Amino acid sequence: MIRLLKIELHKIIYSKTFWILLGLYIILLAPIAFGFENIIGSVRIGNGSKQSSMGNLILQGYSVSNFPDIWLNMAYLASWFKLLLALIVVIIVTNEYSYRTIRQNIIDGMSKWEIIWAKELIILILSLIGVILLITLTLILGNYYGDTNIFEGSGIIFSYFFSLLLYLNFAYFLSSWLKRSGFVIGMLFLYTIVIENLISFKLPDYITRFFPMNLIDKLVPNPLGKLLGKNVAYDFSLLNITVCVLYIALFITINYQMLRKGALGK
């Protein structure tokens, strides 16, 4: 595994695109996280005489920066930027096909499983970077009170981690299938915004809730309903995690089968 990691790191450490995308992920997420409560406070809900600002609700006792709620709030905010991490995966994988690097690796003696696991190590590292940034921002921005346990609600970290693993593996699968970064990015947007919603439209909820993007939404739900007094909680259940792992295993298996059948971007 160390050998595979060294090979992959050697490929990306000199890539300007990698550093630009990773830098954008950090540079964009951090300042928006610092201004998140002000952004929420400027949003208005209701209509006419019943209209009020979410800022008023914050003043009435709910703050997006208070522990323990900030854990979910920051996880949800960070989830909007996972596309930048996915783009890193897309560029890394599609470049392998464009420049025939993957073919050369096989000629040099790497097995097809080693090629797969090498990319999985990068996905794991990117997911850990996302988690570390989430923890760092939460601990910096969180408002602590004497009777508050700052680690209450921190279980969202694991839920967020699995959501990243699933999303990045989905991006890896699309990259191995389509092989051109433009097509992959377009399909990633299309599936996330349109395709899954269209498929879900006439299917029952007990089926659609396990579709990849819906599952990610269950793992890291929109917390803004709390501002309206709704009960919002992430669903880090054994069932959801099992389905998540099965999806990841499926994507890995399909990637391997495509390599085994010689789909090397001829």
The answer, yes or no, to whether residue 114 has pLDDT greater than 70, is yes
- Euclidean distance between CA atoms 13 and 255, whole angstroms: 24
- Euclidean distance between CA atoms 214 and 162, whole angstroms: 13
Q: What is the pLDDT of residues 161-198, one digit of tens each?
A: 999 999 999 999 999 999 999 999 999 999 999 999 99
Domain ranges of the chain: 2-34+65-260
Decide: 102 and 265 in contact? Cβ < 8 Å: yes
Q: Which residue has the higher pLDDT, 149 or 211?
A: 211
Q: What is the mean pLDDT of residues 45-74?
A: 62
The answer, yes or no, to whether residue 209 has pLDDT greater than 70, is yes
Q: What is the pLDDT of residues 125-139, one digit of tens each?
A: 999 999 999 999 999
How high is the pLDDT of residue 204? 92
pTM, rounded to two decimals: 0.89
> Is the four-CA dihedral 139, 228, 82, 115 of positive or negative sign?
positive
